[in-house]
A and B are shown apart, each in its own frame.
Chain A
Amino acid sequence: MAQIIKPDLNFVKEVIKSGGQDLKKCYQCSTCTVVCNVTQDKKPFPRKEMLYAQWGLKDKLFSSPDIWLCHQCSDCTAYCPRGAKPGEVLGAIRRLAIKEHSWPGFLGGLVNSPLYLILLLAVPVIILLIGANGNPLNPDSIPRGEDGSIVYAKFMPVNTVIDPIFIAAAAFAVISFVIGIKKYWNTLKSGGYEPKSASLSSTFISTLKEILLHKQFSKCNVTKTRTYAHLLTFYAFVGLAITTTWAVIYLYGWELLGIQPFSVFHFGESPYPMTDPLKIFANISALALITGITLVVLFRLINSPKAGIGSYFDWLLITVIYIIAATGILSEVLRLLNVASLAYPVYFIHLTFVFFLFAYAPFSKMAHMVYRTVAMVFARHNGIVSKELITERQAS
């Protein structure tokens, strides 16, 4: 059974450049695969991925969902006798998988390189400056509320500025993701798997359950703490998504439904008082996000001697989320304290990075939520199940 191997040497270089710099140290002992708690019995990872990556077998790597079934627990990295850091290598391969399948392709290249960071930031800065009512650095140029208070909606009008810009950014991200998912699904199908499960919808539901509970993630050993940080960050995002939907209902929904504001619920334009349930929910979500992302950073630093420090790709997303959470909370605090000279610039930065997160999500590490979900659905659909851990009787 002869097999002609077509190594893609450029791909090897890209993996090495993207955070897999120790790839070539691997000597194929398969300690990694055995210490992994989330791998599977039949075609376990990441030993084979290390070999494919060393040989530049890009198609083999991308056409299997395995790279996304890895949660980068780094148990493999901690036990690797060679310091080849399989966890980091698989992270690099995932990064390249996003780059390969995202559309339009050139943006993937830009988001992956620190060289273009300024350019990418310039896009929302310019758009927002054009839309802004006044100069964020000159508070006097910005209209105030009736009592002289800071009202961000007067700086960035919701109907005419915020909505068009962010709906456009989100729409772009959705379209890009849909194209990306389609491309990726086709790549996966080329891997020669045979569907075993009955329906895609049932596998999707079981995948969703997995995501909500982080069951696989919590099997991690060396970096167990990461699970909690990720879970908190994840639910903070869910909370903020609910907040956004809720805010849209406040803004437009009550008019459509013909309901008047009642009790603690305040409809119409922001800002809402601190006692409004929307406000309370939003603030809790924001605090969850800043706590979650702080823990992410903290655990990454604590785990780095065993797990590696991560790549530009990882830290870009972490930094963006951190800035969004910090500037979001600061914007509210500065508004309440009426410190106009700082409030407007901070709010402007906040919007810039929210745009960054949304518009570039299909190309940044944020895309992991989509690609990982797709791969998990594909894996379930094709009957790939994670290995059962040995149940051990304690030696007495």
Chain B
Amino acid sequence: MSDNKTLLVIGGGFSGLTAGIEAAEAGYNAVIVEKSPYLGGRVAQLNKYFPKLCPPLCGLEINMRRIKTNPNITFYTMAEVERVTGSPGAYDVTIKLRPRYVNERCTGCNACAEACPEERPDEFNFGLSKTKAAYLPFDQAFPFQYVIDDKYCKGPSCGKCKEACKYDAIDLNMKPKTINLKAGAIVLATGWNPYDANRIDNLGFGRVKNVITNMMTERLAAQNGPTKGKILRPSDGKPVETIGFVQCAGSRDENHLQFCSYICCMASMKQALYLWEQNPDAKVYIFYIDIRTPGRYEQFFWKVKDNPNATLIKGKVARVAQAPDSDDVIVEAEDMLSGELIRQRVDMLVLATGMEPSAKTARPSVPLTFNEHGFAVPDDKGILAAGCAKNPFDVAKSVQDATGAALKAIQRIVGGR
């Protein structure tokens, strides 16, 4: 069911879903291609949205419902676009599907995972926990269908999961598949990855215990996360009473990401609120160069700043060490307002890392220009882009951008331009 009236969306995160759904609801066919085993992308990993602090799974649920009830939408998970030829109005697309080893008969009963003897680091939780090699990406994953990680699964020689499955949903001999389809327009919405904190060698990540990233903090605070939503530090499970946030960790930095990711200041302040919700007396130290709260988000900043347990220090952290006597973290910065060096001891340190466009490390096989940072630079004729593939956006702006992209895509389909 693909033709030149079809919109192909590469990426099933919030931007991609929005572009596909909006076009489908306007009467066009939409095909959404997602690399991971589930839809929802980075948003699915977030605990809460700023500034209203509502759960993203709610918004995702609405979108999943729109997908389920709309016959114009097709989606493929574990899928990647391999080749695109043709021009606006008439593209030929080749898509490669990686084997899930679990078919649609899966009811999500968890019997396979219980039977599976192999473990894998849970990348959904950024390695803060483990899953079995047969696993469900997360509680509310859509499609609600297990998946087997062939990097860790021993294959048919083990077969314990297959024995355990009452629904004949497991096929350990599943092979990769290639499908071809036609499309009138393409929207690239490949999103972003958290910048690799290991590359910031002076901020202690991977070297000093209890130094984590902002996205890991989302998982720590999430009900469906590794600690069931309790903010406990990873090394010893101690409830966090003092927390430090390093703003611009690897951002606005010519040695790392050269740009501002727009969301990290808001994210850290949001995470301060997560902690205060659990422990109103928790001490929060935010080290910043400039606090950037665009537009009306300024009010969110006031809310955090006025909390008596918040300390905002103007001065970027550039040295992080393990305390000599415990798993605490010692953070060194210059408090520029007093002009003195300070060393703050915290239970846990959060690096507010930025967004690296996915295309920076895995360039999509599409005829589209990317800038030096890996952001797509669509022209006014060819393939479109939406969301964080194009610019660092928050979710609200991604949705607006993707809706605009859907309209542009329809224009391409209708006008062949």
Contact = CB atoms under 8 A, between A and B. Distances in A.
Interface string B312-339: 0001111101111100001011101001
Nearest to A28: B336
A184 interface: no
Contact of B252 (A43, A81, A387): A81
B366 interface: no
B208 A395 contact: yes
A386 to B, nearest CB: 11
B254 interface: yes
Contacts of A33: 318, 334, 341
B289 interface: yes
A30 B315 contact: yes
Contact of A34 (B208, B256, B319): B319
Contacts of A42: 340-341
Contact of B318 (A79, A83, A391): A79
Given A31-B318, A34-B318, A390-B319, A395 B336 contact: no
Nearest to A33: B334
B323 A44 contact: no
A275 B332 CA distance: 57
A66 to B, nearest CB: 12
A10 interface: no
B157 interface: no
Nearest to A34: B318
A305 to B, nearest CB: 12
Contacts of B279: none
A47 B341 contact: no
Q: B-side binding surface: helix, strand, loop or mixed?
A: loop
A392 B322 contact: yes
Contact of B255 (A34, A39, A81, A391): A81
A42 B340 CA distance: 5
A34 B334 contact: yes
A14 B76 CA distance: 62
B105 interface: no
A73 B408 CA distance: 54
A79 B255 contact: yes
A392 B318 contact: no
B332 A83 contact: no
Contacts of A40: 341
Interface residues of B, number: 30
Contact of A390 (B207, B254, B316, B343): B343
B343 to A, nearest CB: 7
A83 B325 CA distance: 36
Contacts of B333: 30, 34
Nearest to B201: A79
A140 interface: no
Contacts of A391: 324
A201 interface: no
Contacts of B341: 33-34, 39-42, 44, 387
A82 B254 contact: yes
Interface in B269-309: 289
Nearest to A44: B341
A41 B324 CA distance: 20
A390 B321 contact: yes
Contacts of B340: 41-44
Contact of A47 (B202, B317, B323, B334): B334
Contacts of B255: 79, 81
Interface of B: 202, 207-209, 248, 252-256, 289, 315-319, 321-325, 330, 332-334, 336, 339-341, 343
Rank and list the top 4 A-B pairs by shortest CB-CB distance, nearest first: A81-B253, A34-B318, A30-B334, A29-B316
11 contacts: A27-B252, A30-B316, A30-B318, A31-B318, A34-B317, A34-B319, A34-B334, A48-B339, A81-B248, A390-B321, A393-B323
Given A41-B341, A394-B322, A395-B208, 14 more contacts: A29-B316, A30-B334, A31-B316, A33-B341, A40-B341, A42-B341, A43-B339, A47-B336, A79-B202, A81-B256, A390-B332, A392-B321, A393-B324, A395-B322
